[in-house]
Amino acid sequence: MKGSRVTIHDLARAAGVSVSTVSKALNGNGRMAIETRERVKRISGEIGFRPNALARGLLSNRSFTVGLLTNDTYGRFTLPVMAGISEALVDHGVSVFLCAIEDDPALAKIHVDAMLDKQVDGIIATGKRIDKSLPVDLAHLPVPVVYAFTKGAPDSATLTSDDGHGAVLATEWLLKLGRRRLVHITGPTSFMSVGERADAFRQVAGKDATVMHGTWSETWGHEAIASIWNGAGEKPDGIFCGNDQIARGVVDALRERGANVPTDVSVIGFDNWEIVADQTRPPLTTVDMNLKELGRQAGLMVLALAEGRTVEHGLRRLPCKLVVRDSCGGKRI
């Protein structure tokens, strides 16, 4: 057998038993004579049998693949989640394959059926927001399902970022810098995350602190600053934005009005979308939702379920972290 990989079928022939018996012997299950089990194990070592993915599947009734299902076709949230999943599973010999379903129920069903046909060990569902489900029912599949950054089925294992915690980090940092006239410029009220961040902002900044709602866009950041600067009263010295795109629009609009960032106004975003945050001038301080860690934990969770271990179900919120750059002043952390 030199020069080629020893297969499970080679082992079965060498031991004079069936592939099924090899599987049971190496897994330590099934009924057979002790002598048979020991002979299979001994010969396995003698001929250098190392199970590849197919052989491991035959040995354990697993495919060592996990499906990742998402409607985030742009990849803003899914790519860091997938990076975390892959990092968690690579050492376990488990591969991840991604299926993008947009918001199409028919396409979603096709991909789910394909995953089941491939006998995946589990499915991780992810998306663009925690308060919206994917357009497919995953509640009664014959494989474990974990939800990460999308709305899960009742009593499911669901992971999400703690939006309120992120907002507290941002607002407390502005206050620590000595900013007292704070404004929160954020997205549409239809998003659950918007409400959670706004509530947390007001808990720290004061119940009467200004919150302005608009779209998730740089244009809205420009419009919000125009509205504030064209109005009466004191101007803010600290602005917490609902995402990095809004924050970039805010920074540009402030510069156009002669307000220096961060000397006159400190600005903080949300998402840590590095392609936006790093290219903002000055670079943007922002809240990181720890999506890679969220993906890592989702990967370990679906692996545990696939191996028959107990996993606590329900919604688990992961803490955020503040990434300090130049847009708010103060020492970087």
Each domain of the chain, given as residue ranges in start order, spans 8-60, 65-162+291-321, 163-288
CATH superfamily of this structure's domain 8-60: lambda repressor-like DNA-binding domains (1.10.260.40)
Closest CA to 144 of 310, 292, 318, 315: 310
CATH topology of domain 163-288: Rossmann fold (3.40.50)
Tokens of residue 53, six digits? 């993915």
Three-state SS for the chain is CCCCCCCHHHHHHHHCCCHHHHHHHHHCCCCCCHHHHHHHHHHHHHHCCCCCHHHHHHHHCCCCEEEEEECCCCCCCHHHHHHHHHHHHHHHCCEEEEEECCCCHHHHHHHHHHHHHCCCCEEEEECCCCCCCCCCCCCCCCCCEEEECCCCCCCCEEEEECHHHHHHHHHHHHHHCCCCCEEEEECCCCCHHHHHHHHHHHHHHCCCCEEEECCCCHHHHHHHHHHHHHCCCCCCCEEEECCHHHHHHHHHHHHHCCCCCCCCCEEEEECCCHHHHCCCCCCCEEEECCHHHHHHHHHHHHHHHHCCCCCCCEEEEECCEEECCCCCCCCCC
pLDDT number for residue 118 = 87
pLDDT number for residue 1 = 45
> Which residues of the chain have a pLDDT value below 70?
1-4, 28-30, 51-61, 330-333
Q: Which pTM value belongs to this model?
A: 0.80
| Apex 120 CA angle, 83 and 124, nearest 5 | 40
Q: What is the pLDDT of residues 112-150, one digit of tens each?
A: 999 998 889 899 999 999 999 999 999 989 999 999 999
| Residues contacting 299, CB < 8 A, separation 6+ | 66, 84, 85, 86, 87, 88, 89, 94, 96, 124
Q: 163-288: same fold as 65-162+291-321?
A: yes
CA 85 to CA 302: how far, in whole Å? 10
pLDDT number for residue 2 = 47
CA 134 to CA 128: how far, in whole Å? 9
CATH superfamily of this structure's domain 65-162+291-321: Response regulator (3.40.50.2300)
Yes or no: say if 211 and 198 are a contact pair by the CB < 8 Å rule.
Answer: yes
Helices 291-306, 78-89: crossing angle, 10 deg rounding: 50
pLDDT number for residue 136 = 94
Q: What is the pLDDT of residues 164-213, one digit of tens each?
A: 999 999 999 999 999 999 999 999 999 999 999 999 999 999 999 999 99
pLDDT number for residue 51 = 65
